[in-house]
């Protein structure tokens, strides 16, 4: 009998009248756990608990908050294998990728443990005597967080860890696709010593459920900050609600990421990079490559090698088969959206070079190594050729194992085509020409660029985020994320004992008579 879990509100586990089951993405008969659907009132209770905990947590010295995150990092490292296998089971990520995502959370804790001993402000000289000027980082207050299921521990850590080290309290609505991973993560944070009410977790869906209720909490005055990872469409709505409440949200949204292969590229390296960029996590990454843009002189050679590599991609249940490139779709909704794009590609006039839709017993690709394809939603790796920027499949995020091949002539056209989408998250170029690499990184409209590497990947000390439809300019990770969870407080301290008015009483030095240098000689 699967275990039933509760929301974590003010240090207590709380149930709800309605529940939902979290199932193994690779085997829908396997129930991982049963979780409550939060009511609107429970979301409000969580916000109120975070508000009540804010004075004590924000007054805790930042180095002490950082030490707690250090203990969390140690707990995550201790439980890395168990957490990785849980990610592997619940959302269908390969074990190798799952281990990498848990390591990302560990790295994030280690980085921000040390930031607890920095969080630098500045001492600024005053234009008045006997007066000092200072700046301080101050926490914003209660942070509402909604995260997606494709990175159920790495991405939440990008938000939760910096929010905590800067002194904020949190209400987190994790993805309904990976609630068990979220519960385990929250319990490890609790083990590290976090006071009750500082982190509250509510479970449930998005529209008409816990996610929507948490967004509505901004209008109710219960939140001081909102951080969201998900689709651009939902992100726009979150941004609208935040804007009318004068909040600056963190929006990490979708992508249609270009990977450019220039005529001088190492083709073997480029093929492997494009393969992983397109199909890792079954293409269910915001940083997955959407369009591979290939320079004309090597286009045919690249396509030939790439299709051969795609035909050899191993696909199956990543829990049972450890060396697959990708496993199932995280949920039925993603699968159906991906399946519909096949009609879109055909209507556009693109040429389908590889792929036959859903993997089923009578429709198995060469690389299928699973046992029962009907136990979950699996998709053929799909490659479209003859794609042009005016096509819908070039423009729209597919969020599945699909890649488009686009032919261009030269670096200028490659950059123009790469920029011809409404997104601007990640990008990559394969070239050994330093000028072409420079041109690409200087002119690409993206928050992140790789040179001779994939469109995927992030490190805990580098900023993560996009431009255009991929975000609102905020960044995750590294020191840059501190701007998202703090405000600057300016303080002037006058010890003169008299009224001094800047700009009005300032004793600027008066110039003396002008010196004519020519007359000096």
Q: CA 396: distance to chain centroid?
A: 19
Residue with tokens 């501190």: 482
Q: Which helix (H) or strand (E) holds 304?
A: helix 299-311
State the Cα–Cα distance between residues 216 and 40, nearest whole angstrom: 9
pLDDT of residue 21: 98
Is residue 507 very low, low, confident or very high in pLDDT (cuts 50, 70, 90)? very high
DSSP readout, 74-142?
HHHHHTHHHHHHHHHHHH---HHHHHHHHHHHHHHHHHHHHHTT----EEEE-SSTTEEEEEEEEE-SE
State the Cα–Cα distance between residues 459 and 110, nearest whole angstrom: 12
Q: Which helix (H) or strand (E) holds 155?
A: helix 154-165
pLDDT of residue 167: 98
pLDDT of residue 458: 82
pLDDT of residue 257: 98
Is residue 520 very low, low, confident or very high in pLDDT (cuts 50, 70, 90)? very high
The residues carrying an active-site annotation are 252, 286
Percent of the chain whose predicted confidence (pLDDT) is above 90: 98
Q: What is the pTM of this model?
A: 0.96
pLDDT of residue 111: 97
Q: Mean pLDDT across the stretch 89-115?
A: 97
Q: Mean pLDDT across the stretch 210-233?
A: 98
pLDDT of residue 230: 96
Residue with tokens 């490890």: 188
pLDDT of residue 348: 94
pLDDT of residue 457: 79
pLDDT of residue 1: 83
Helix ranges restricted to H, 166-254: 179-191, 210-219, 232-244
Contact 25, 319 (CB under 8 A): no
Burial per residue of 311-348, b for 16 or more beta-carbon CB atoms within 10 angstroms, e otherwise = eebbbbbbbebeebbbbbbbbeebbeebeebbeebeeb
pLDDT of residue 8: 98
pLDDT of residue 521: 82
pLDDT of residue 307: 98
pLDDT of residue 322: 86
Cβ-based neighbours of 161, under 8 Å, separated by 6 or more: 69, 72, 105, 108, 109, 112
Residue with tokens 């300032």: 506
What are 164-190's pLDDT values in tens digits? Answer: 999 999 999 999 999 999 999 999 999
What the block records as the tokens of 190 is: 């609790």
Structural domains present in the chain: 36-253+474-487 (3.40.605.10), 257-459 (3.40.309.10)
The dihedral of CA 378, 380, 383, 389: what is its sign?
A: negative
Cα angle 408-449-350, degrees, rounded to a multiple of 5: 35
Contact 382, 403 (CB under 8 A): yes
What the block records as the tokens of 314 is: 């191993």
What the block records as the tokens of 408 is: 């261009």
Q: Mean pLDDT across the stretch 310-326?
A: 96
Contact 319, 275 (CB under 8 A): no
Of 256, 264, 259, 284, the residue nearest 395 (C-alpha):
256
Of 222, 163, 225, the residue nearest 189 (C-alpha):
163
Helix ranges restricted to H, 256-298: 267-279
Of 186, 156, 182, the residue nearest 11 (C-alpha):
186
pLDDT of residue 431: 98
Contact 478, 448 (CB under 8 A): no
């Amino acid at each position: 009998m699967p275990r039933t879990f509760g929301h974590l509100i003010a240090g207590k586990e709380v149930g709800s009248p309605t529940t939902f089951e979290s199932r193994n993405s690779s085997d829908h008969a396997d129930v991982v756990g049963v979780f409550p659907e939060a009511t609107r009132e429970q979301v409000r209770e969580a916000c109120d608990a975070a508000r009540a905990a804010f004075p004590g947590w924000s007054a805790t010295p930042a180095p002490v908050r950082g030490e707690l995150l250090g203990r969390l990092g140690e707990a995550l490292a201790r439980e890395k294998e168990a957490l990785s296998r849980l990610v592997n089971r619940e959302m269908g990520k390969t074990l190798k990728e799952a281990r990498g995502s848990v390591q990302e959370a560990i790295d994030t804790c280690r980085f921000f443990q040390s930031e607890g001993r920095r969080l630098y402000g500045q001492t600024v000289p005053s234009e008045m005597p006997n007066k000092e000027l200072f700046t301080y980082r101050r926490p914003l207050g209660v942070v509402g967080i909604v995260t997606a299921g494709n990175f159920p521990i790495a991405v939440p850590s990008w938000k939760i860890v910096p929010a905590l080290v800067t002194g904020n309290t949190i209400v987190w609505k994790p993805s309904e696709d990976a609630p068990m991973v979220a519960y385990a993560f929250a319990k490890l944070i609790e083990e590290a010593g976090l006071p009750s009410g500082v982190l509250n977790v509510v479970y449930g869906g998005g529209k008409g459920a816990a996610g929507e209720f948490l967004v509505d909490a901004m209008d109710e005055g219960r939140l001081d900050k909102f951080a969201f990872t998900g689709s651009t469409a939902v992100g726009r709505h979150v941004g609208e609600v935040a804007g009318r409440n004068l909040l600056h949200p963190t929006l990490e949204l979708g992508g249609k990421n270009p990977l450019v292969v220039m005529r001088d590229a190492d083709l073997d390296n480029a093929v492997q990079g494009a393969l992983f960029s397109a199909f890792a996590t079954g293409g269910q990454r915001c940083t997955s490559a959407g369009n591979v843009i290939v320079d004309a002189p090597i286009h045919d050679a690249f396509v030939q090698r790439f299709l051969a590599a795609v035909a050899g991609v191993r696909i199956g249940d990543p829990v049972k088969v450890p060396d697959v490139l990708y496993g199932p779709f995280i949920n039925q909704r993603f699968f159906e959206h991906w399946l519909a794009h096949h009609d879109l590609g055909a209507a556009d006039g693109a040429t389908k070079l590889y792929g036959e839709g859903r993997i089923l017993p009578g429709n198995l690709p060469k690389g299928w190594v699973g046992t029962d394809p009907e136990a979950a939603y699996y998709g053929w790796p799909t490659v479209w050729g003859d794609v042009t920027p005016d096509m819908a499949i070039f423009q729209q995020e597919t969020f599945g194992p699909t890649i488009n091949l686009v032919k261009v002539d030269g670096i200028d056209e490659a950059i123009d085509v790469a920029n011809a989408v409404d997104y601007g998250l990640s990008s990559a170029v394969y070239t050994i020409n330093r000028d072409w690499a420079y041109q690409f990184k200087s002119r690409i409209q993206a928050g992140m660029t790789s040179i001779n590497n994939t469109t995927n990947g992030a490190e805990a000390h580098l900023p993560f985020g996009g431009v255009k439809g991929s975000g609102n300019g905020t960044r995750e990770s590294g020191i840059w994320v501190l701007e998202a969870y703090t405000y600057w407080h300016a303080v002037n301290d006058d010890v003169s004992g008299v009224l001094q008015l800047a700009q009005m009483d300032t004793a600027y030095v008066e110039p003396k008579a002008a010196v004519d240098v020519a007359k000096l000689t």
